[in-house]
Amino acid sequence: MARPSSSTNARCESCDAPKNLDVIGQPIKGVYTGAWSNICRRCRHTAQKRMWTSFSAWEDLLRANLTYLDGHIDVSPNYDVPISPETTRLLPGLKRLHEYGLLSTNSQPGDQGLAFKAETGCIQWKQRPYYDFLVPTVHESVDVAKVNRLVDALMKHEDIVTTAWSDSDEYPKSKEGDVNEAREVAPTFHATAQNEAGEGTDKTYYFRSNASPRVHWVSSYRKANSSKELRDTEWTNQTRSGPTNVDEIPRGSSTCGNGPEWERFPGVMNARPLAVQVAAREWTTKLDLQEVVERTCQRVGLGKMFKSVLKRELMVDVPDTTSVSQLDE
Ligand SMILES: [Zn+2]
């Protein structure tokens, strides 16, 4: 298990860069004091990708993701920075859903607010809660039919919009002008020896979505000189959710990140997970999406199959600086 580093040097032991830089070389606030503190965040990012690549079991990916959510690592293969402060209040639900085998890849809570500053005027903002996760379909503890029922049930939930697709399969491009109609698209399987076992049922591996086919915005703001003016000001959309049609599915990459050579992680390919994205249908701060998904898991019979496994510690050595250096070459 991770050994605490005695090093508090200001320079990375691997690449000699200042340790206060992020993955793109910009200064970061605060100091990371976790077990990998002998190296800089960019080297930790490379080491994380390498570690995720070394895992073949879904359990290890879940544990690795939990170490990131717990803050023991300040960067993940999928995310170049620590979790944002607003995510903190989602943590109990996000972590509990790992016990069901759900690996979270992105999320935000609902929020609304209004602020006035002399220099900027009135700013009003709103965001919908959303929650993106991967759920395995090929695993000895997982019944693929129940995973299929989970997606079906989420699609029918009236408070949310849901998009799901296979993270390990590829999809044909939609026909021109067909994006709006293509709410269900069969994948062109690239079956491997491991994932052939997960043939699924019905439309398990289909791209499926009931979100607006063009775009689904999850944060928006508007700005004016006074609160009176603000009421007549149009909202400006700011952040959108993930893919809402088959053409937008990232090709050749996984939603939980990729390895150092941009390869998919073997642990992901072996489990042939579905990528599922749920978001509130309305601009609301009230909806607890983790609770919605957990209740739906229970309703379709997906239990805490990974609970005991996750009690064990992540069995991985802190990458020493030599191996990180080799990887960088
Ligand atoms: Zn470094």
Compute φ and ψ for 27, nearest 5 degrees.
Answer: -60, 140
Predicted local confidence at residue 314, as pLDDT: 66
Predicted local confidence at residue 180, as pLDDT: 64
Predicted local confidence at residue 7, as pLDDT: 44
CA of 103 to the centre of ligand 1 (A): 28
CA of 328 to the centre of ligand 1 (A): 10
CA of 104 to the centre of ligand 1 (A): 27
**Model confidence pLDDT, tens digit, residues 146-175:** 999 999 999 999 999 999 999 988 888 877
Query: Which residues, given as ranges, of the chain have pLDDT below 70?
Result: 1-9, 177, 179-180, 190-201, 314-329
CA of 50 to the centre of ligand 1 (A): 14
Taking CA atoms, 240 is separated from 83, 128, 211, 289, in Å, by 19, 10, 12, 17
How many angstroms separate the CA atoms of 225 and 232, rounded?
A: 11
Between CA 102 and CA 111, with CA 105 as vertex, the angle to 5 degrees is: 105
CA of 293 to the centre of ligand 1 (A): 39
Closest alpha carbon to 113 in 239, 220, 35, 245: 220
Predicted local confidence at residue 322, as pLDDT: 41
CA of 16 to the centre of ligand 1 (A): 6
CA of 25 to the centre of ligand 1 (A): 10
CA of 32 to the centre of ligand 1 (A): 13
Name the residue type at position 118: A
CA of 301 to the centre of ligand 1 (A): 45
CA of 56 to the centre of ligand 1 (A): 26
Q: How many CB atoms lie within 10 A of CB 177?
A: 7
Predicted local confidence at residue 177, as pLDDT: 67
Contact assessment for residue 122 and residue 230, using Cβ atoms and an 8 Å cutoff = yes
Predicted local confidence at residue 208, as pLDDT: 94
Predicted local confidence at residue 321, as pLDDT: 43
Name the residue type at position 43: C
